[in-house]
Amino acid sequence: MKSHHDHHQTHHHHGPVAHQPAPGADDAYQRAYAAAQPDPGRRVIPIELDAREIDWEFVPGNKTRAWGYNGQIPGPVLEGQIGDVLEIRFTNRLPQPTNIHWHGLRVPAAMDGTEMVQRSVAPGETFVYRFRLPDAGTFWYHPHSNETVQLEMGLYGALIVRGPNEPQLDAERVFVLDDVRLDKQGQIAAFGSIVEHHDGREGDTRLVNGRAEPVLEIAAGQVERWRFINASSARYIRLSIGGKPFKLLGTDGGLLEAPVTMNEILVATADRVDIAVGPFGAGEELAIEALQYKRRIIRERKTERFATLRVGAPRPSAARIPERLRRIEPLAPANASPNRTVKLGITLSLRRMVDFVINRERHHQDKPVKAGELQVWDVVNTTLMDHPFHLHGFFFQVLSVNGEPPAWRSWEDVVNVPPRARVRIAWLPDDRPGSWMYHCHILEHHASGMMGHFDVVS
């Protein structure tokens, strides 16, 4: 205990308060900082992170001017266990302001990393994020300022939290998927076309952990845990591993109740899936690919490969996937009546054909919700294209899609809302008062205005 205390004091001393009008100098930040204490037996994990310009070889032999965390794309995989505290000392070495959002983590509002809750970190400035890890799962981090540019330039990374009862597989890998649009010189193409404004930006260079279409190896007979994160700006990934069956173990907010066997799964923008793959036979070669998914945009894509998997010589497996992974208590019955409707829509725009809105408003200001009061929201898509709906800071359960209950119960922070669909979600705001938001995670739609702000009040 004492060492935690000392650690806290030291960092507090030359940490956030040492900096000029600190972006988080307000009371809510100071309270959240002090309240972030590890559980008994857990620890504070200090992390140094910076964002800076780098030359990155997405494609071998071609250097692209990009932006990365700690000089790499993706940024380092941050890892911890439930009850640990991450203390991230972040320095902005970019030529423009930025901040970091901890996508999916149930942190206090003041640590959510959006422009709503903190002033962005100016070039040259340092800011300390400090929060406890409350849940096991596959999360990620990315800027929440000028996202259409900053994420495309390479600013994103995985954040993995482990719990006490993880299934034991032969190995674990993290796959951060992205696509970049490169110009003829191999540089990140200019931003802001009308098509991109409408479709969201997709690129022809498909990346796994910052490398274009890598070749990966696995030993025959192995069963591995693969965590996928869709970090692209707008792409929908209908994930297939050579068409072979795999087991879905978990989604955004951690494990399912039981594994589900399938041959493909839709990983919408910002979504995560956690799957058990294998065993494969020696000599097999499989495509890790996105099957064609028509999200009804101007430039539809075909089936496209992200990576190739080669199966090598066999190795004995010790993997054991239990039949029950955990229990998830239902928050509400499927037919619970909604107490709010969030309408994803478009409005005509003189300059850009359309703008993307919520309840007919760009950057909608929504009503507050009260901590402890069950929320049942109907997220209604009035448009003819898909939108990945993301709620900050809280997990929800999907109760129904067009009246049909989903095939399994799970905790999510992103859900795809198909064209003209009504997705009913339930979530319970715990007592983390402050400003929160929800938005379409197609970054261009978010930027255009398909987002809402609301407060959680005690």
Residue 387 interaction partner, one of ligand C2O, Cu ion, none, beta carbon < 5-8 Å per kind: Cu ion
User: Smallest distance, Å, CB 360 to Cu ion?
Assistant: 15
Q: Which residue has the tokens 């919408």?
A: 268
The dihedrals phi and psi of 141, each to the nearest 5 degrees, come to -130, 145
By beta-carbon proximity to Cu ion, the closer residue of 22 and 440 is 440
Q: Select from 356, 415, 400 the least CA-distant residue to 382.
A: 356
Residue 390 interaction partner, one of ligand C2O, Cu ion, none, beta carbon < 5-8 Å per kind: ligand C2O
User: Smallest distance, Å, CB 271 to ligand C2O?
Assistant: 10
Strand order in the sheet with 126-132: 62-69, 44-59, 85-92, 126-132
By beta-carbon proximity to ligand C2O, the closer residue of 64 and 416 is 416
Q: Roughly what angle, to the nearest 10 degrees, separates helices 27-35 and 2-14? A: 150
| Omega before 108 within 30 of 0, i.e. cis | no
How far is residue 425's CA from residue 434's CA, in Å, rounded to a whole number?
Answer: 21
User: Smallest distance, Å, CB 316 to Cu ion?
Assistant: 46
Residue 270 interaction partner, one of ligand C2O, Cu ion, none, beta carbon < 5-8 Å per kind: ligand C2O
User: Smallest distance, Å, CB 413 to ligand C2O?
Assistant: 8
Residue 227 interaction partner, one of Cu ion, ligand C2O, none, beta carbon < 5-8 Å per kind: none
Q: What six digits make up the tokens of 390?
A: 């993301």
- Which residues of the chain form contacts with ligand C2O (CB under 6 A)? 101, 103, 142, 144, 270, 390, 392, 439, 441
Q: Are 351 and 414 in contact (CB under 8 A)?
A: no
Residue 418 burial (C-beta neighbours within 10 Å; 0-12, 13-18, 19+):
middle
Beta bridge partners of 47: 88
Q: Where are the beta strands (DSSP E) in 133-170?
A: 137-142, 157-162
Residue 103 interaction partner, one of ligand C2O, Cu ion, none, beta carbon < 5-8 Å per kind: ligand C2O
| Omega before 40 within 30 of 0, i.e. cis | no
Which amino acid appears at position 303 of this protein?
A: T
Residue 132 interaction partner, one of ligand C2O, Cu ion, none, beta carbon < 5-8 Å per kind: none
By beta-carbon proximity to Cu ion, the closer residue of 87 and 444 is 444
By beta-carbon proximity to ligand C2O, the closer residue of 101 and 211 is 101
User: Smallest distance, Å, CB 137 to Cu ion?
Assistant: 24
How far is residue 100's CA from residue 216's CA, in Å, rounded to a whole number?
Answer: 30
User: Smallest distance, Å, CB 144 to ligand C2O?
Assistant: 6
Residue 439 interaction partner, one of ligand C2O, Cu ion, none, beta carbon < 5-8 Å per kind: ligand C2O
User: Smallest distance, Å, CB 355 to Cu ion?
Assistant: 11
User: Smallest distance, Å, CB 390 to ligand C2O?
Assistant: 5
**Interface residues for Cu ion in 437-456 (CB under 5 A)?**
440, 442, 445
Q: Select from 154, 377, 177 the least CA-distant residue to 273.
A: 177
By beta-carbon proximity to ligand C2O, the closer residue of 64 and 145 is 145
| Cβ-closest position to ligand C2O | 103
Q: Are 106 and 427 in contact (CB under 8 A)?
A: no
From the list 271-279, 301-309, 382-390, 430-438, the region that binds Cu ion by CB under 5 A is 382-390
Q: Select from 61, 276, 273 the least CA-distant residue to 167.
A: 276
How far is residue 340's CA from residue 171's CA, in Å, rounded to a whole number?
Answer: 43
Residue 445 interaction partner, one of ligand C2O, Cu ion, none, beta carbon < 5-8 Å per kind: Cu ion
Side-chain half-sphere of 71: how many Cα atoms within 13 Å?
A: 1
Residue 144 interaction partner, one of ligand C2O, Cu ion, none, beta carbon < 5-8 Å per kind: ligand C2O
Q: Which residues 6+ apart lie within 8 Å of 96 measured at CB?
A: 123, 146
By beta-carbon proximity to Cu ion, the closer residue of 155 and 442 is 442
Among 387, 390, 424, 432, binds Cu ion (CB under 5 A): 387
User: Smallest distance, Å, CB 357 to Cu ion?
Assistant: 10
User: Smallest distance, Å, CB 145 to ligand C2O?
Assistant: 11
Q: Does 414 bind Cu ion (CB under 5 A)?
A: no
By beta-carbon proximity to ligand C2O, the closer residue of 227 and 390 is 390
Name the residues that contact Cu ion, by CB under 5 A: 387, 440, 442, 445
